[in-house]
Structure 1
Amino acid sequence: MPKILIVDDESVFRKGLRKMITSLDSNWEVVGEASDGYDALDKLAELSPEVLLTDIRMPRMDGIQLQQLAAGRFKDLMTIVVSGYDEFAYVQQSMRQGAKDYLMKPVERQELGRVLERLGQELAERHKQSARSDQPWQVQPVLKRHVAGHLADSLLKGKTEDSDLRLLRELGFAFGHPYFICMVIKLDKHSVEKERYQRGDASLFLLYIQQVVQEMIDRQAVGISFVQSDTEVVALLNTADPQHSLSAPGALGDLIRRQIRSLSNLTVTIGVSNPAEGLPGIPRAYNEAGIALLYRLIEGGDKLLDYAKMKQRPNEGSGPLKWSWEILEKSITGGRGAGIGPIVEHMIEELCSTAESPESIHQQICKLLLYYYELSEELGVTESWLGPKDIRTILFEVCSLSSRQELAEQCRGLLLTLTGCIAESREMKDIDPVTVAQRYISQHYHHPLSLKEVADKVYLNPVYFSNLFKQRTGVTFSEYVTHIRMEEARRKLAFTGEKISRIAEETGFGNVRHFNRVFKNCSGLSPKAYRDSSRRV
């Protein structure tokens, strides 16, 4: 009686196929079911079916990868693949790998019966000559790396099962020592010419780094490396020594960094964990390596950053910077995008040079972006600024960056886009000359302003503009300008230590005596008395 194993990640589909096969031909025995490729490999070894019926699209390991791995171990196994309507490219690839037939979803009863009949006849002709080869399992290097990477990713997340470890051993990765050290390796993008990086596939840079790392590991240590994401390579080292260090001069981590640079002119930054005991300690080691790598913001790139040393760093900074965002805000709200890049780069450089920790850097950047998010909400431009993303996604992306250059580039791009959105929104509203005039006053109150100057900016006769302004705002042009100046003067008196004469100059008054008189008329207190009273509150 021929035996068949069903593999599909959907339980309902597996049970439906089992029922259909049983009712079609009683000569066939469904010996088992598997929910993914890893489970299927175990079931194939345990149950020895003649036929494998597998879905193509599955998580972790798809049907094609399962077919490739199974072919190396079970020489006479026949495979039938099941695919969706839009997956024929996968079917073609599977057929090239030796699949006997394929079925389209939803599987038709008559078609399944035809396939089973044909395979039954072929099996009968073999006269039970389906003995499994005892030759060692040979796996293509690319496939070996791909599967090992999936399994190692499970190690990092603490989700490894015994079957995963057995498969790793069969692939040649045996972890016989009690301690593990994790390295997270990131390419310093600024070490690659921008055109070269954009022209090439970013994944190729990471694949190259992973290959160099694995070659160095194979020469000097026990371990595995793999591309973990679009931005990082992870290496997991197995050692017998709990005091083992990868960060000392001449140690493996430092050799990897220098080797990549000498071979390719690329630079990398490497985060290194403390040694962790046993498989349960691997997720902690991975987390520590990631935290160490964040210190690239402070230490710069092309370095090896040891978690233990980074956590022992003295607090060199003076705490979170209390930035003055006045220049930046004027550039953004004034639509002056050209000045934003240098301002942002200076702010990031200053912050990273003086901050106590990566967390304090990210905290300040998040505070800055939240401030402008609130502004975008107020102006109604959030959707055009962020598109389909929400602010939480943006903040998460920013907090994952560990490079000054990348952080500056991300913030510059966000704030330049916001500037454009605000400018475009205001251009649409600029049919109202009074709104244009109010914005012009708010941006130029610190200069001498005349009614004629502002009327010229909105292309109106001064007399007509004066009447229209009073009609629309309820105050005269002169009263409005004074109000804006007084608001700014009150803010500076309450929250800065600037001299009163300096504040008078910065708010558009020709001399401090005139400023004192106007301020007292508007506020009922002299500037000095107002400052004293605001600080007693």
Structure 2
Amino acid sequence: MPKLLIVDDEETIRVGLTSMVNRLLPQWEVVGSCEDAEQAWEQVKSCAPDLAIIDIGMTGMSGLELALRLNKERPEINKIMLTGYDKFAYIQTALRAGATDYLLKPVQRDELVNAFAKVEELLIERNRQSKLLLEKTVLEWTMTKKDESLILLERLLDGEGLLDEDVRYGIILRFQYRNDPEADSRRVESPEAYWMADYEKSHRGLLKTVDVVLSNVCEMTFVAGRELSELKDWLECTEQAPDGKTPRWAPFGYGEPTEDLRQLPSAFRQAQEMLYRSIQPLDESNPDEETVRINRLAVAIEMNDLKAVNDLLNLWRRDLGQSSERHPVWMFGRLIRFVAFFVGLQATRMPSALLTEMNADITRLSGQLLFNGDPVTLLSTIDQFIEKVAQIKPDSFDERKIIGKVKEMMRREYGNPDFSLEQAALRVHLNPTYLSELFKETTGRKFIDYLTDIRLDEARRLLLETDMRMYEVCSSVGYTSSKYFSTLFRKKFDVTPTMYRDGPVLETD
């Protein structure tokens, strides 16, 4: 409800205008009635009116001076000037002071209604522009993380009273398109605009929602509220259309609510990962075939089998093209499934050197689905993705080079008691089991045996060349138990560490 402030030094005028507005314009709320400009200024600061009706000829600070001050410090407030003289000079002065209109005393009902209609049009346009600016700013900060976007977002939210300490913010992403073979099979529907409107009306804790259409099938919603814990329960009920008849496939994802606007980009990434994880296979004639292919592709990527990956990608691409010919909407579902598979692998941080090489292209691919929902364009983007994968050179994750890196790692980390096969696998983006097999195949020795030899050879050097105490030598080569260290040392060199230091010892290779 827009708010009105009346400023006039005559009480009868103030009372009369209040009565007329309440009767003729019930959509407006009179939030203040002031007899002078100083009192009006205090009211402006406390109640932030959308419109002020101001008498030009007040004593003290004149109405014109108040209007000029509002122009400078509160330009968002509209102004209608009151005057008792129908003279061009007064009218011209009022308009120069930034008034949207003027009214002659005594105020006529039709003139009052017409003047308010002009202001309401301005408010509608202002709200539209503010909404567009807020949508643009939320999108820019979430996507680009530019400092100026964050500053503007904070200012816009502060102007709406949404920058309090107890306000939380969140990001929701949602896919939406029809999945009904009996419906129009040649068309993919756009998202349903402002789909959270009903929830916003019924839930008092939700203070603001800003919907940004990212593409013709994906919508982002920025939410601000004092209580967002019930939001998840409501989201899980949105897969059914409002009419209760038309099923919609509407996977969604959301980020953890945050009190810090700087965390919105992270919330967006969380929402994106959850969105892709929520995507399920469509009910097609043979879903098992796709599931088998997905499992094979996941194994090939984890095993860094570039040839198998390229073969499976080309096979999947062929099937996508055939789906396009059979049913466009089903094809779009499979396109989403294709992208979701790779984003899912990326999100799980699968230990694969090949996946690491693919990550940049996966990020570009997932962005295309969010920001360009056109199936033809997306299919072209998938083609480009497959071509990029085909251009990856095996040398970039050559197994011999990987084992060389692991050996160097052992020589650096032998003194770290926590260093393990799992740690090494994580650093070279390989599955621990696969790294263990690859290490033995390449070197002819087990990982732990190779690491133990490095540690014990270094211990032997320290025993001969330093005066370090036994427990210090033990700790320096990565062992926390002196007894275990001594057992390993004796097994390798046929003597205890103490006997080796005391010598003489006949050394053998």
TM-score range, shorter chain: 0.3 to 0.5
TM-score w.r.t. structure 2 length?
Answer: 0.37
